[in-house]
Amino acid sequence: MSDEHPRHQLVDALTHPVRFSLVAALNATESMDFATLRDQLQVSDSVLSRQASALEDLGIVTIKKGYVGKRPRTWLSLSADGRDQWRGHVAALRAIAGDAP
């Protein structure tokens, strides 16, 4: 058998449920503020911070800090490579599930 099983195309970093959900949410938008993402994912600040930092270290997520007025804000977005990895990961899941295009 010369064809590689699609599981080999999965991105290990995206197999964690919170990371998967985080990247899925960011894929749907250009960027999202920390609090909105936290509430959407229904996780604590510390869980989101830890998982986002891990994805940033891998070059999948970009984290930008700034201010809105005098209040500090953090925005997260997918890097170009992160979007590519997400598309590949989802394509692999679809192939495994049997509904690849």
Residue 49 clears pLDDT 70, i.e. is over it: yes
Give the count of beta carbons closer than 10 Å to the beta carbon of residue 2. 3
Residue spans of the domains in the chain: they are 11-96
**Phi, psi (rounded to 5 degrees) for 75:** -115, 145
**pLDDT grade for 52, boundaries at 50, 70 and 90:** very high
- pTM for this structure? 0.89
- Judge contact between 52 and 63, C-beta under 8 A: yes
Token output for 41: 């994912």
Amino acid at 48: L
Mean pLDDT to the nearest integer, 13-32: 97
> Residues 26-45: pLDDT tens digits?
999 999 999 999 999 999 99
pLDDT of residue 85: 97
CATH topology of domain 11-96: Arc Repressor Mutant, subunit A (1.10.10)
